[in-house]
Amino acid sequence: MVAVLALVTTPLRAVIDVVLPPRCPACGEIVDGDDRFCAACFGQLQALGPPQCACCGIPLPHEGDIAAQCGACLGEPPPFQRARAPFTYGGPTRHLVLALKHGRRLHLARMMARAMLRVAGDLPEDAVIVPVPSHALRLWQRGFNQAAEIARQLSRQSGRPLAVDALARIRATPSTKGLTRKARQKNVQGAFRVAHADQIKGRTVVLIDDVMTTGATVSACAAKLARAGARQVEVLTYARAVREEQAHVSVR
């Protein structure tokens, strides 16, 4: 369908827009262009940006040194160089993530990748894009891995190579809902392995997932990647869960 739409000429496109008007990916409201939120959902987006922790990207209360880090990163440096996400998780971004996960609306991945690249800046020359893998059973149930779909679009838009199978999931992790940070860390330990070290050795790995919650999953992946010889790991997710007390976010 997308390929067909890309081929049609403008007048025909206008006809299609009347029959199948573009809709807000979060709430389904009719909007005036593809891949955009309606005004109401756009108004609810909470953009993440400076002042933020130089490492994990969490909002910091005061404008200061751009190298400033949050207490958690200073106390226990994460196994990744930095983590960035364009938006907090909740409201419209939650709807978008769920739509991609369960609705198989793969074109949403294109929109998410574009927003992620905006906050990533220029990816290093040696960057290789690696998605957080989903377990074979989930893959079979769902038919695709949403992180891999976002990674594929990111690779296309940034021109950096995709190593879709560099990481593998050894076992499915039970739902982490309601677990504490420590419990989540325990939950994901040993869940991943590097399947193709040759694809990441000596390179900057841009690790992709849809949502970063406590960071336990991306940290487990980043630790494995670093041990397998990655030069550094940068984490890029579409949304980031930010706790109430951390929410010094700018509302756009």
Q: Which is nearer to Zn ion, 32 or 125 (CB)?
A: 32
Is there binding between residue 35 and Zn ion (CB under 5 A)?
no
Strands 250-251 and 46-47, bridge-based pairing: antiparallel
For the bound state, the minimum distance from the C-beta of residue 57 to Zn ion, rounded and expressed in Å, comes to: 7
- HEC profile for 98-154? HHHHHHCCCHHHHHHHHHHHHHHCCCCCCEEEEECCCCHHHHHHHCCCHHHHHHHHH
* # of chain residues touching Zn ion (CB under 5 A): 11
Query: Which helix (DSSP H) or strand (DSSP E) does residue 63 occupy?
Result: none
For the bound state, the minimum distance from the C-beta of residue 49 to Zn ion, rounded and expressed in Å, comes to: 14
Is there binding between residue 235 and Zn ion (CB under 5 A)?
no
Q: Pick the binder of Zn ion from 17, 29, 34, 35 (CB under 5 A).
A: 29
Q: Which is nearer to Zn ion, 41 or 164 (CB)?
A: 41
Q: Which of residues 39-68 bind Zn ion (CB under 5 A)?
A: 41, 53, 55-56
Rounded to whole angstroms, how far apart are CA atoms 36 and 33? Answer: 6
Q: Pick the binder of Zn ion from 5, 27, 195, 241 (CB under 5 A).
A: 27
Q: Is 173 left (phi over 0), alpha (psi -120 to 50) or beta?
A: beta
Token pair for residue 210? 């849809």
Is there binding between residue 70 and Zn ion (CB under 5 A)?
yes
Q: Which is nearer to Zn ion, 133 or 215 (CB)?
A: 215
Q: Which residues bind Zn ion (CB under 5 A)?
A: 24, 26-27, 29, 38, 41, 53, 55-56, 70, 73
